[in-house]
Amino acid sequence: MTLEMFNLEGTRALVTGSSQGIGFALARGLAAAGSQVVLNGRDTAKLAAAASELRETGASARELSFDATDHKGVRSAVDNFEENVGPIDILINNAGMQYRTELQDFPADAFERLLQTNVASVFHVGQAVARHMIERKSGKIINIASVQSALARPGIAPYTATKGAVTNLTKGMATDWAKYGLNCNAIAPGYFDTALNAALVADPEFSAWLEKRTPAGRWGNVEELVGAAIFLASPASSFVNGHTLYVDGGITASL
């Protein structure tokens, strides 16, 4: 009975930015827990390859290509999917980007792209999916935040601002939508070995610093985010709302 609380059989999950990295790992994990996953991205070739890889493992995987920063495009894609395929029970807002340079030199256009990709996309996709969830009086929304929701590091101030916004938008979603039966929470990864962090992973000095700074003493593996996602996507988290779950090897817990 206890394990049944984490069963995702019969559900459908949309994961944005899921052709690689954290998004792909989370989609693969939800599929293994029984969910039909819907992969999203702008690069249709990468998306098709990712979906094919999942299907080869026996997973049920679909593709839904749209630009998460395009409000009208998102609304149209989600509405069409709901009408012609079926309900989206779980949404993971994972689409994101990074840009690194000192704040005094940070390009204005890069700042705007960060806002659109990391914050506006959460609003656009979250709203489009939530409207259908509200009608059904149930749904799970999981936003991908970051340790930078709580901490800052040199060279990424605008990214830090966007991830702080994701955490507070998550609280706002819960405040507005919990009364309709929705659970809206966030996962805040620490430093994980992904394509987004490739430059840092390849930097011996940074990796040495990170290993000393993180109580667990290492980079995270993307598979270590799957348990948190399954928990927040499953009936086990039925009374968890507006929460940000840090999966960070202890980096936010220590000086």
Give catalytic residue positions: 159
Residue 244 CA to residue 138 CA, distance in Å, equals: 20
Q: Which residues contact 127 (CB under 8 A, 6 or more apart)?
A: none
Q: Are 145 and 171 a contacting pair, CB within 8 Å?
A: no
Q: 142: closest CA among 2, 41, 30?
A: 30
Start-to-end Cα distance in the chain: 40
For 169, phi then psi, to 5°, come to -65, -35
Residue 36 CA to residue 125 CA, distance in Å, equals: 18
Please report where in the chains the tokens 């990214």 appear, as a residue: 159
Q: Which residues contact 80 (CB under 8 A, 6 or more apart)?
A: none
Give SS3 for 228: helix
Q: What is the DSSP string of 195-255?
A: GGGHHHHT-HHHHHHHHHHSTT-SPBPGGGGHHHHHHHHSGGGTT--S-EEEESTTGGG--
- Running DSSP on this structure, what letter comes out for residue 219? P
7: its two tokens: 């069963």
